[in-house]
Structure formats: structure tokens, C-alpha cells
Amino acid sequence: MKQFKHKWTDAERDVVRCGYNGTNNSADQLARELGVTRYAVKGQAQKMGLCQNKSPRWTNDELDKLYDLIHQYPIAQIAKRLRRTPNAVKVKATRLHLGLRVRDGWFTKREVCEILGVDHRKIQTYITSGVLKASWHNGRRPQKSGTASWHISEKDLRDFIIANSGDFLGRNVDLQQIVWIVSRL
């Protein structure tokens, strides 16, 4: 049996406007009442602009706390402290170009590549030659399959950046991260 697109009347739109509160329960109830699917109700609500529940604007105090907490705690904990959703915290941190990784004193080779704006082969050359000190994460040798990663301590990375600062110029360098790493003594 072929289904046809429902033609919404003004009276039906009024029912959706009054009864829809953004939940599946309200959509199901309205769908039964109007003889349409839940998805038809949700689609109509979206067209009518009833689904745009914007979160409150970020205050300067919240932004200051986010800057302080982002490198110390996981997103879920930050969200609880700020009384925001984890998704809201992640989106805001991404828009502010903040790293989402909890800084616990070490970096992977991939992260070092992103920070310094260079290819992984160049970083591997530094590691192999001993210019950049690195160890195997969890004592397991890195493999091509990606089952393990390099463990580069924050202190070793800081020393490396200071000693080789002239090698990392250009637009791919994450200057904020470099300043953050070098300024932590």
C-alpha cells in the first residue's frame, strides 16, 4: 500500500503547536490523535520552529572555568561542574580551538605531529635519532597496526621544542599548544 504525504491543516498545526514539547511521548500522543506517524509530527514541529531549544549563552565566568578545566578533567566532569551537557562543552571547546585531551604529562606521536605541524615520518626520524626522547606506551612496541603508541613526556617535548624551535615555523604549527607546553615549568 502506497502512503501519501500528509497535508497539514491549520487546525492540526495548532494541535502540534500546543501539544508538542520536544519529547517522543508527546510526539507519539499527537501522532495517535492526528492519525499520522511520530516522524510526521516531529517533522512538522521542526518546520514550525518548535524544536530549536537553544542552550543559554556562555557567560565569561563559564568560559574562564572551561579554559581552566579543559586540560585537567574529562568532558563529562567539566559538563557536570558547568551544569552543561557534554556535547555543549565539547562543541564550545572545539569552537574555541581548545584541545580536548586531558593533559596528564605525556603525548602520543600523532599529537606531537599535530602540535608541531609536521608529518609523522619527521617526528619518527627525531625519535629514531634520539633527538626527541620517546618510549613505548605501556611497554609495547608501536606497530603498523596501531595497537600501541609512542609515549612522549611533556618535559621531553618541552626540551625538544626549545632546542629545535627554528625547525617548526609555518601555518600548521599549533602555537597555543606550544606556548602552553613551553610555559609549564
Q: What ranges in the chain are assigned the alpha helix state H?
A: 10-19, 24-34, 38-47, 60-69, 75-82, 86-95, 109-116, 120-129, 154-163, 175-183
Tens place of pLDDT for every residue, the chain, 185 residues? Answer: 556 678 899 999 999 998 988 888 889 999 999 999 998 998 898 888 887 666 788 999 999 999 888 877 778 888 999 998 888 898 898 888 887 766 577 888 888 888 888 888 899 899 999 999 988 866 666 666 554 578 888 899 999 999 988 887 777 887 777 887 888 76
| Helix or strand (DSSP H, E) at 106 | strand 106-107
CATH class of 106-183: mainly alpha
In degrees to the nearest 10, what's the CA dihedral of 152, 155, 157, 160? -130
Q: Record the pTM.
A: 0.48
How many Cβ atoms from other residues are within 10 Å of residue 79's Cβ?
A: 17
**Residue for grid cell 556535547:** 87
How many Cβ atoms from other residues are within 10 Å of residue 12's Cβ?
A: 19
